[in-house]
Amino acid sequence: MMLRIAIQKSGRLHDDSIKLLRECGIELNNGTKQLKAAAFNFPMEAYFFRDDDIAQYVADGVADIGIVGENIVQEVEEDVEILHKLGFGSCRLSIAIPKTVNYNSVRDLDGLKIATTYPNSLNKFLSKNHVSADIHTISGSVEIAPGIGLADAICDLVSSGNTLFTNGLKEVEVILKSEAAIVVNNHLEEEKKRILNNLLLRIKAVQTARNNKYIMMNAPNHQLDNICGVLPGMKSPTIVPLAESGWSSVQSVVNENDFWEVIEKLKSFEAEGILVVPIEKMIL
Ligand code: PRP
Ligand code: ZN
């Protein structure tokens, strides 16, 4: 039995999706040029789709799970749920208009024709703001719509803002914020759920490792209590005596978020020769 995963064929999420699987020890065999690729060493088959289609394919059971923006799930609203956020692919769904057009408030959207691949999310936003605009649903290349006279405005994903900039558009309203997530079909067979749990364990290990660093240092013994106080580690720090009497080597794990604060304190407690190394996987 194989778990079928849908991945973006090309675009914002593609590279990070493949990288995540690789860090989970899953290599896809015939590259990503094909529609489909089996994994060498994990019961998984990857399908490459346009990101906008992934939630629908997962809802329909064409794929079991997918890596896609959370925003796309909101667009589909059926038989598919967000299981786990992945911490990459952050972007926002926004409304943009030609940069030469004046804009003061959401009222200025009244009566405009807005091109989008996300009609449901746009419709919700417009109704909430009591704006009546003409939603023009298209399947891609939304950003060129105003330039060719197909629409007055667009509603599309913005990440770096490059696409808007190169098409002479400016962002005027943010509808929602999104990041990549594992989405899953609500009716998975038990065997597939088992494979999925295994995958999730690996993904969490990779994510935890990314957020933590392994740290080693030498410290005078009379400071060990102070040093252990700022270094909780997974259980408690490892302390090994050095050949030089009165000194020890201390090893622990530090969270990326408190990293510099911890380093400052360690220095004030006379720690020396501090080494910091990345962690590849971390299973708690
Ligand atoms: C989205 C969106 C823009 C681009 C915006 O495309 O439709 O084209 O990303 O990113 P930027 O602000 O960094 O330029 P996506 O990657 O979803 O590919 P798609 O066009 O195939 O849907
Ligand atoms: Zn897209």
Strands 80-85 and 91-98: unpaired
Q: Does residue 187 sit in the same domain as residue 55?
A: yes
Q: Does residue 57 sit in the same domain as residue 184?
A: yes
Q: What is the pLDDT of residues 225-249, one digit of tens each?
A: 999 999 977 778 999 999 999 999 9
What's residue 31's pLDDT? 62
Is 244 within a domain? yes
26-40, 66-80, 268-282 — which is least confidently predicted? 26-40
62-66, 77-81, 149-153, 209-213 — which is least confidently predicted? 77-81
Q: Does residue 45 sit in the same domain as residue 58?
A: yes
Average pLDDT, integer, range 181-196: 97
Residue 146: φ, ψ to 5°? -65, -40
Q: Does residue 100 sit in the same domain as residue 169?
A: yes
Concatenating the DSSP letter of every residue in 152-176 gives SEEEEEESSSHHHHHTTEEEEEEEE
What's residue 235's pLDDT? 79
Return the H-helix or E-strand segment holding 215: strand 212-220
Q: What is the pLDDT of residues 24-36, one digit of tens each?
A: 999 988 665 788 9
26 CB contacts (<8 Å, ≥6 apart)? 39, 40, 41, 42, 44, 199, 202
What's residue 32's pLDDT? 57
**Of 87, 69, 98, which Cα lies nearest the Cα of 169?**
98
User: Where do runs of H (alpha helix) occur along the chain?
Assistant: 14-23, 51-60, 70-76, 119-128, 162-166, 190-210, 224-230, 259-268
Average pLDDT, integer, range 163-179: 97
Is 283 within a domain? no
Confidence of residue 200 (pLDDT cuts 50, 70, 90): very high
Q: What is the pLDDT of residues 115-130, one digit of tens each?
A: 999 999 999 999 999 9
Q: Does residue 166 sit in the same domain as residue 234?
A: no
**Of 46, 170, 168, 56, which Cα lies nearest the Cα of 103?**
170
What's residue 191's pLDDT? 97
Q: Return the structure tokens found at 201.
A: 């364990």
What's residue 256's pLDDT? 87
pLDDT above 70: residue 153? yes
Tell which phi-psi region holds residue 246, choosing left (phi > 0), alpha (psi between -120 and 50) or beta.
Answer: left
What's residue 64's pLDDT? 98
Q: Does residue 17 sit in the same domain as residue 68?
A: yes
Confidence of residue 134 (pLDDT cuts 50, 70, 90): very high
Q: What is the CATH number of the domain that holds 273?
A: 3.30.70.120
What's residue 206's pLDDT? 95
Q: How many structural domains comprise the chain? A: 3
Residue 166 lies in domain: 91-178
Confidence of residue 284 (pLDDT cuts 50, 70, 90): confident
**CA 166 to centroid of ligand 1, rounded, Å:** 12
State the closest ligand 1 atom to the C-alpha of 52, by its place in the atom list counted from 1: 22
Average pLDDT, integer, range 140-154: 96
What's residue 67's pLDDT? 98
Average pLDDT, integer, range 168-174: 98
What's residue 76's pLDDT? 85
Q: Is the dihedral of CA 74, 12, 141, 48 positive or negative?
A: negative
Best residue among 9, 12, 139 to mutate for probing ligand 1's pocket (most ligand atoms within 8 Å of CB) is: 12
Euclidean distance between CA atoms 1 and 58, whole angstroms: 17
What's residue 110's pLDDT? 97
Q: Does residue 106 sit in the same domain as residue 166?
A: yes
Taking every pair of Cα atoms in the chain, the longest distance, rounded to a whole number of angstroms, is 80
Q: Does residue 85 sit in the same domain as residue 11?
A: yes
Is 257 within a domain? yes
Is 284 within a domain? no
Q: Does residue 27 sit in the same domain as residue 63?
A: yes
Return the H-helix or E-strand segment holding 35: none
What percent of the chain lies above the pLDDT cut of 90?
A: 87
Q: Does residue 99 sit in the same domain as residue 172?
A: yes
What's residue 132's pLDDT? 97
Best residue among 163, 164, 179 to mutate for probing ligand 1's pocket (most ligand atoms within 8 Å of CB) is: 163
Give the residue, by CA position, lying nearest to ligand 1 atom 7. Answer: 157
Pocket lined around ligand 1, Cβ cut-off 6 Å: 11-12, 50-52, 140, 143, 156-163
State the closest ligand 1 atom to the C-alpha of 162, by its place in the atom list counted from 1: 14
User: Could you tell me if 82 and 68 are in contact, meaning their C-beta atoms sit under 8 angstroms apart?
Assistant: no
Size (the chain), residues: 284
Indicate the residue among 155, 178, 201 that finishes a domain: 178
Q: Mean pLDDT over all residues of the chain?
A: 94
Q: Does residue 116 sit in the same domain as residue 145?
A: yes
**CA 158 to centroid of ligand 1, rounded, Å:** 7
